[in-house]
Amino acid sequence: MKRNVLIRIEGLLVAGLIALIMSGCGEIIKEVARKPGTPLFVVAAPVSSTSITITWLSAFGADSYNVYSTTDGNTSKLGSTKETSYTHEGLTPDTNYTYYVKAENDGGEGEASATSSAKTFATATSTGKTKEAAITITSAGVTGTLLSGSSELWYTFTKTGAGKLSVEDSGNSNYTANIVIDILDSSGDVVTIDGSKAEDLDMGRKNLDSITNSNWSGKYYVLVKLYDTDSLTGGTFKISFN
């Protein structure tokens, strides 16, 4: 009788132990199954002298992706996205950066992808053909030329406080070379001056050859365009800031 009881107790203990182990394994299996796969073919590529875009293939079970940078021995999370690309901005020109990506869902983060590195372009030459190559406006003024079919020229200045932006034609100080301008802040948004958007400002009319603002604050960009590229021949102009 005692032997039967002992066997029964041992049987219950073994059964309980097996159940406990299986329960734990089930949770482990469930946890592993819940986590997403690993992003593949992660590629970092420079976009400009200050930005790099990272792309990858989607991972199984992913709801979103976390992008990490491992530059100079320091690892930091740059941000999260539901897309399969991410652009890292505000970088230093001519500098190497390394990245990896982790997929994430309700179960947490998956394994890290392989790393990919890229080097930002060297600082762009100030040609005025792009925002990044904007020509710095001086108090003495810099000249530019837009001809029929030309698209635009970019200029930049930095100012805190009062100042005047002036644009004049090389042949007549009262008129400009059939141009309009946009003034944008460092984020690329059109600024507001005296309650009006500084967009498509017609600088080709008398008394509209300068813009005064008492509240400049930081870095600005000036986009100069012909207001009619089909019928106007354009010409040379001078832009200055004081």
* pLDDT tens per residue across span 18-71: 565 556 555 554 455 589 999 999 999 888 778 899 999 999 999 999 999 997
Alpha helices, DSSP H only, in the chain?
2-34
Instruction: Kindly state whether residues 111 and 44 are assigned to the same domain.
Output: yes
Count the domains in the chain.
2
Residue 127 lies inside a defined structural domain of this protein: no
Whether 168 and 161 have beta carbons less than 8 Å apart is answered as no
Whether 211 and 198 have beta carbons less than 8 Å apart is answered as yes
Rounded CA separation 74/65 (Å): 20
Whole-structure pTM value: 0.47
Please indicate whether residue 118 or residue 121 has the higher confidence score (pLDDT): 118
Residue 73 lies inside a defined structural domain of this protein: yes
Instruction: Kindly state whether residues 114 and 144 are assigned to the same domain.
Output: no
Q: What is the pLDDT of residue 115?
A: 96
Instruction: Kindly state whether residues 113 and 153 are assigned to the same domain.
Output: no
Q: Considering 60, 93, 119, which residue would you say is the last residue of a domain? A: 119
Q: What is the pLDDT of residue 126?
A: 63
Please indicate whether residue 36 or residue 74 has the higher confidence score (pLDDT): 36
Q: What is the pLDDT of residue 149?
A: 59
Residue 27 lies inside a defined structural domain of this protein: no
Token pair belonging to 11:
């049987």
The mean pLDDT of 121-138, rounded to a whole number, is 78
Residue 21 lies inside a defined structural domain of this protein: no
Residue 16 lies inside a defined structural domain of this protein: no
Rounded CA separation 63/83 (Å): 10
Is pLDDT of 160 > 70? yes
Q: Considering 119, 148, 165, which residue would you say is the last residue of a domain? A: 119
Q: Which domain holds residue 210?
A: 135-241
Instruction: Kindly state whether residues 88 and 158 are assigned to the same domain.
Output: no
Residue 9 lies inside a defined structural domain of this protein: no
